[in-house]
Amino acid sequence: MSQTNMYLPQPAADSRSLPWGRWGLRVSAVSYLGIMIVLPVSAILQSALRDGPAAFWTEITDPVAFAALKLTLGTAAAATLINAIMGTLTAYVLVRCEFRGRQLLNALVDMPFAMPTLVTGVMLVVLYGPQRALGALLESNGVKLIFAPPGIILALLLVTYPFVVRAVQPALMELETNQEEAALTIGAGRWVAFYRIVLPTIAPAIVTGSLLNFGRAIGEFGAIIVVAGNIPGRTLTAAVHVFGQIESQNQRGAAAMSILLLALSFALLLAVDWMQHRKKVPDVEV
Amino acid sequence: MSKSEKASSAASPRVRRSRGERVLIGAAVVYAAALLLGPLIAAVWGSLSEGLAAFVREITTRDAITALRLTVILAAAATAINTVFGLCIAWVLVRDKFQGRRIVNGLVDLPFAVSPVIAGLMLILLFGRGGWLTSITDSMGVKVVFATPGMLLATVFVTLPFVIREVMPVLEQIGTAQESAAYTLGASSWQAFWHVTLPSIRWGLLYGVSLTFARALGEFGALLVVSGGISGLTETSTLFIFRSLDDRNYVAAYATALVLAFLSFSVLILMEFFKSRR
Amino acid sequence: MSIVLDRITKRYGKQLVVDRISLEIAEGELFVLLGPSGSGKSTVLRIIAGLTLPDQGRVLLSGRDVTSLPPQRRGTGFVFQNYSIFRHMTVAQNIEFGLKIRKIRAAERRQKRESLLEMVGLAGLDNRLASQLSGGQQQRVALARALAYEPDVLLLDEPFGALDAKIRSQLRRSLREIQQKLHVTAILVTHDQEEAFELADRIGAVDRGRLVEAGSCQALYSQPRTLFTATFLGAGMVLVGRAEQGRAHFGPLSLPIPDPVPHEDGSRVQLLFRPEQVVLSQTKPAEDTLLVGKGTITEQSFRGGVQRVRLSLPRLPATRQIAPPVPFGEDSLLVDTVLPADHPTAGKELWVSLGGWHILEQPRSRLMVFDNGSGSIVHLQIARWLAERLSASVTLLGVAAEPGRSDVLSKAVKRRQEEAKLLDAELRVRSGDPAEQTAIELAETLYDLVIATRVPRRFFFHESRLDSLGAVLLKILEHTSAPVLVVKEQRAPLSRVLICTAAGEPGKNDVRVGGRLARRLGAEVTLLHVTNKSQDPSPLARTHLQQAIATLRGADMTGNMHFRQAATPSEGILAEAREGDYDVIVVGGHAPRTRSAFRLNDVTRQVLAGTGRPVLVVPQEF
């Protein structure tokens, strides 16, 4: 302090340092995350880039790898789009409509979170597999689900169903009904009220949910390997490709694809984080 | 005045639902049912297609039972670890405003975003042949990859965020007033946490714990990569299902899948209960 | 003495929240810390409880230094404003919590709990869950819980803030009873003066982190020392006049300044009178009453047995009103008082006189620094220097062109404030026209001195010598009601003051203000008179100078006298300033009541434009 002090030297309050217990907690929290997350990710980075960028590039542009990446992004995008629409619809119905079985539907939404994805895949094979009644029926009509890209999309739909619903639900609850009602009283139709009042308000939540949905979809493995198998160029997704590379002892190839997926996931996380902090007022400087 | 108004409106006959609303509800319910319930019912039907006896026989084979036991043990251990550390991390992230908190907060979400196969690959790169930490674990005489410790690590990694993400908002919401009150009443930090903070966040914590457990029960991708796949030793239920499918032993696969689904469902019901109390 | 605070200071970041608070509270006393929200009073309470550590200072409880002890080991009982009841526990578990922690046996705990529940009026509710109680009941439980282990000190942080009026008054009564019965020392924090009056043995008024004054309710209400206490504790009229030879002058009123509140001659005096001290009469009162004037009733409101009325009177000459605030641009004196309910009021003209009055302590000097967030920071540096010398408080005023820019401006000014190390200044940001907003700020708050620098404009195409001052600054000078120190370059310490008596119309004000400033800074004063003919001053000039010297003597000052011959007054002043190397040039500004009607007089403008030295422009009457 440059200010001249006209008072006597002030008694200082001592022991301003953090209590050791708090330090201990902080250190253990950070080091746990360091060991569990930072260390493994660095191992992948090192493994992929150990032989230089050229080798990395070769692994990525390998036709099989490239096709896998394309398939992953395509199916994930399709599943995300469908769930964005149906998820928003489900959330709207759950929040705004009173009907019998609402509680049950609400609980059902969480099922994919609890259900092992491998089990999900098994169930889908049982239902739609070529040996099954429904599967045989579909096949005779030229629709092939299992061991085909549509099966991947179906599996992804099931696995990622909760994300959009659970993101939109709180946003809808926050949105007071009287805004919507006000629109109705001034003569707007229900659809116009939804389109002009509700949708703009919950749009960020839909985007956030969709981003999470997409992120989960590109990483899905258990359901896909059962439903789609691993036919290179046709049903081999990126995650399955990584598994194949590990099995064939090509760690560099596995790590290269992993890095790509990691980068994508990380970008999605950043986007979600940005979406969630966007609305908040910037911190006031004290 | 307002009370009587409310009462009269409650007594008045219900307004019939509009057609548009009924269509919406119908669409949502049919979609959810077709997507979620259809496969479930099919799985029940499929696993019972060769009769109840075959079902019982398949789920009581030595391999199936040891796999289930390993699954539950791994899930329980991973849940315990992540509950303790998750609480600790959540507390630090909410109450302890240190520099770099935002980065740490972002790290927590990473396991959500990473494919489980990649999680498995990470462990191989760390503990496999020529891995970063292999020499250390070797000198300790511990085999990590293709053995139970690696499977535990994989499960812990994959389920790391749940407790943290469920506890943080609750912790934020209860604020520090009750903790401060406990301090002024003479409670130590530990007593305040145990008697005041923990009971206040218990439903959120239990929800996070059950999510962790459910997720751990069903982990497959990461385990497939790091497990040795030795039946009866390092094989979990999901791995057992996968092997059975490969061996075209469909009834065993479907039956075990159903058992696992049943377990997950029980946890789900528990979760719904915790959520309603939260 | 049960609680002693010794120069407690706390900062959050750069913000000073608690500023050297010292306080002694006797055993068994109920002390109320009263202040507006954000004044730091709750932080003081948390520091006593150990929930917040002070940056500096000591806390003593019953003679024991507890400054660095954690809250667990201080033995204080704390009642929070809200939400601190353990919601997952029953009433009984809540109350017994502190005892259980201390490992008291169950039978004893139960006995204690039952007697406490009896005392707070909740007997029989032992097994109710805390979350099932009403807000008032929760606070009763919180009180019982805090008292259970018989703390030496009870701390209450706005305990009734979230409750409705009726329950609040019930709880106040119970609190007072219990506190007296248990003879426990208590501090209660509130922003409600009524609550303070009802509960307190003594009140401490807190404003912006400082304990402004402490005393009994009666003393603080009728004989406050400061303006803050006078206006925060109840309604009252505050007028500002001037002290002269032991008397305070407010227009026609001349009141003796009582002994304990001495004022230096020429300084401002603040007069307080409460509504109940106003005497109204239909006929003109006798000669020896303190007559304020004749007013009309402009507002009235019904208050049960009485009605509150506001009268509007002509403004007293050379007097300003601070409370109640007079709307900007209005030229009247507002007096609030009460009348019997049946008294006819409409359109009545009544004589207003004073039945009692009180003179506040000489206020601490206040500086206002006008800053627009860019350009040189010399004015901020000079403000810091002056604030230290005069031990004055500083307010930084920024005016944004539009409300949306306020945040940006406030950040810029803050950065400059730090750069100039003007840390304790208060920042106010207004939006609108800079000169107008400055004038409004000056009307609403009383400042002794305004400091400004040349306000740069973005484009200078035809910059004449006069315009180099900047249009905004000129406008401020034309509108101001306080002296303005215009700073262009760094020039501290200010040790040589040049007062120009013949710069335009002669006024006593410039001499008095310049003289007082010089005395407080310990600077040397020179009076300058410029003639345009000979060395021999005219008779008129002599009179001016004699008046000026008398004014200086009145302020216990002597000064040199210089005469100078020059073609124009401004030339003479500028030459003298250069040759004598003066640090401040004092010149007269505009006349009063002519705001915006006149341009600033030419001599002043020429002096301002012609020198880089600080120039103090004194309005002729303020």
pLDDT in tens, C461-509: 443 433 445 677 877 787 777 889 988 888 778 888 998 875 444 456 7
pLDDT at B17 over 70: no
Q: What integer is the mean pLDDT of A114-125?
A: 87
Pick C83's closest partner by Cβ from B175, B196, B202.
B175
> Hey, is the C-beta of B152 within 8 angstroms of any chain A C-beta?
no
CB atoms within 10 A of CB C299: 12
Of all residues in chain B, the one with the smallest CA distance to C93 is B195
B-chain residues near A47 (CB < 8 A): 125
| B272/A32 touch (CB, cutoff 8 Å), yes or no | no
Residue A8 is predicted with a pLDDT of 37
Residue C555 is predicted with a pLDDT of 67
| B185/C84 touch (CB, cutoff 8 Å), yes or no | no
Q: What CATH architecture does domain C235-359 belong to?
A: Beta Barrel (2.40)
Is C196 within 8 Å of C32 (Cβ atoms)? yes
Residue B74 is predicted with a pLDDT of 94
Residue B16 is predicted with a pLDDT of 56
Candidates C4, C68, C72, C419: best to mutate against A (most CBs of A within 10 A) is C68
The residue among C330, C336, C332, C350 whose CA lies nearest residue C301 is C336
Residue C447 CA to chain centroid, in angstroms?
Answer: 10
d(CA A243, CA A246): 5
Is B78 within 8 Å of B159 (Cβ atoms)? yes
Please give, rounded to a whole number of angstroms, the shortest distance from the CA of B189 to a CA of chain C.
9
Mutual angle of helices A251-278 and A63-96, in 10-degree steps: 30
- Beta-bridge mates of residue C453: C487
Q: What is the CA radius of gyration of chain A?
A: 26
C364-492: which CATH topology? Rossmann fold (3.40.50)
Pick A15's closest partner by Cβ from C57, C68, C414.
C68
Domain limits, chain A: 56-277
Q: What integer is the mean pLDDT of B258-273?
A: 86
- Tokens representing residue C523 in the block: 């600077």
Is C383 within 8 Å of C485 (Cβ atoms)? no
Domain with CATH 3.40.50.300 in chain C: 3-222
| A114/B112 touch (CB, cutoff 8 Å), yes or no | no
Buried/exposed code over A66-84 (b: 16+ C-beta within 10 A; e: otherwise) = ebbbebbbebbbbbbebbb
d(CA B61, CA B64): 5
d(CA A279, CA A146): 43
Residue A285 is predicted with a pLDDT of 30
pLDDT at C571 over 90: no
Looking at domain A56-277, which of 1.10.3720.10, 1.20.1250.20, 3.40.1360.10, 3.30.70.120 is its CATH number?
1.10.3720.10
Residue A163 is predicted with a pLDDT of 92
Of all residues in chain A, the one with the smallest CA distance to C6 is A11
Using the Cα atoms of residue C539, residue C541, residue C543 and residue C549 in order, give the sign of their dihedral: negative
Show contacts of A276-280: CB within 8 Å, 24+ apart: A276/A208, A278/A204, A279/A204
- Tokens representing residue C560 in the block: 């040199």
Domain with CATH 3.40.50.620 in chain C: 364-492, 493-622
Q: What integer is the mean pLDDT of C542-547?
A: 74
Residue C539 CA to chain centroid, in angstroms?
Answer: 45
d(CA A95, CA A93): 6
pLDDT at B2 over 50: no
Domain with CATH 2.40.50.100 in chain C: 235-359
pLDDT at A112 over 70: yes
> Hey, is the C-beta of B232 within 8 angstroms of any chain A C-beta?
no
Residue A179 is predicted with a pLDDT of 67
Per the model's pLDDT, the better-predicted residue between B8 and C299 turns out to be C299
Show contacts of C40-43: CB within 8 Å, 24+ apart: C40/C10, C40/C206, C40/C208, C40/C209, C41/C189, C41/C206, C42/C157, C42/C158, C42/C189, C43/C10, C43/C17, C43/C18
Chains that touch B (3 or more CB pairs under 8 A): A, C
| A218/B160 touch (CB, cutoff 8 Å), yes or no | no
C-chain residues near B186 (CB < 8 A): 72-73, 75, 98, 101-102, 149
d(CA B92, CA B107): 14
Interface of C with A in 393-452 (CB under 8 A): 411, 414, 421, 423-424
Hunting for tokens 């920024």 — which residue is that?
Answer: C398
Is C154 within 8 Å of C76 (Cβ atoms)? yes
- Tokens representing residue A39 in the block: 């260390």
d(CA C176, CA C192): 16
| A255/B119 touch (CB, cutoff 8 Å), yes or no | no
Is C515 within 8 Å of C486 (Cβ atoms)? no
pLDDT at A206 over 90: yes
d(CA C38, CA B212): 43
pLDDT digits (tens, 9 = 90+) for A238-272: 999 999 988 888 888 899 999 999 899 888 888 88
pLDDT at C288 over 90: no
Per the model's pLDDT, the better-predicted residue between C238 and C542 turns out to be C238
Q: What integer is the mean pLDDT of A58-73?
A: 89
| C7/A7 touch (CB, cutoff 8 Å), yes or no | yes
C-chain residues near A2 (CB < 8 A): 421
CATH of domain C493-622: 3.40.50.620
d(CA B86, CA C126): 36
CATH superfamily of C3-222: P-loop containing nucleotide triphosphate hydrolases (3.40.50.300)
| C388/A1 touch (CB, cutoff 8 Å), yes or no | no
Is C359 within 8 Å of C269 (Cβ atoms)? yes
Length of chain A: 286
A-chain residues near B29 (CB < 8 A): 93, 101, 105
Is C112 within 8 Å of C130 (Cβ atoms)? no
CA atoms within 13 A on the CB side of B11: 6
Of the pLDDT bands very low, low, confident and very high (cuts 50, 70, 90), residue C401 is confident
B-chain residues near C71 (CB < 8 A): 180, 183-184
Candidates C19, C72, C388, C393: best to mutate against A (most CBs of A within 10 A) is C388
DSSP C565: E
d(CA A125, CA B42): 9
Beta-carbon contacts of B24 under 8 Å, excluding residues fewer than 6 positions away, are A89, A92, A93, A97
Q: How many CB pairs under 8 A join A and B?
A: 248
| A239/B121 touch (CB, cutoff 8 Å), yes or no | no
CB atoms within 10 A of CB A119: 31
Residue C93 is predicted with a pLDDT of 92
Which ranges of chain A would DSSP assign to H, the alpha helix?
A: 20-33, 39-49, 52-61, 63-96, 102-109, 111-114, 117-128, 133-140, 149-174, 177-185, 190-193, 199-219, 222-227, 238-247, 251-278
| B211/A112 touch (CB, cutoff 8 Å), yes or no | no
Of all residues in chain A, the one with the smallest CA distance to B120 is A243
User: Worst-scoring range by mean pLDDT, B266-270, B272-276, C294-298?
Assistant: B272-276
Candidates B15, B25, B101, B158: best to mutate against A (most CBs of A within 10 A) is B25
Chains that touch A (3 or more CB pairs under 8 A): B, C
The string of DSSP letters for C102-134 reads TT--HHHHHHHHHHHHHHHT-TT-TTSBGGGS-
- Tokens representing residue A109 in the block: 């939404």
Angle at C104 between CA C101 and CA C106, to 5 degrees: 110
pLDDT digits (tens, 9 = 90+) for C236-262: 999 988 888 888 989 888 899 887 777
- Beta-bridge mates of residue C564: C530
Candidates C10, C21, C52, C67: best to mutate against A (most CBs of A within 10 A) is C67
B-chain residues near A105 (CB < 8 A): 28-29, 32
| C51/B199 touch (CB, cutoff 8 Å), yes or no | no
pLDDT at A78 over 50: yes
SS3 C43: helix
* Top-confidence range, A268-277, B51-60, C27-36, C460-469: C27-36
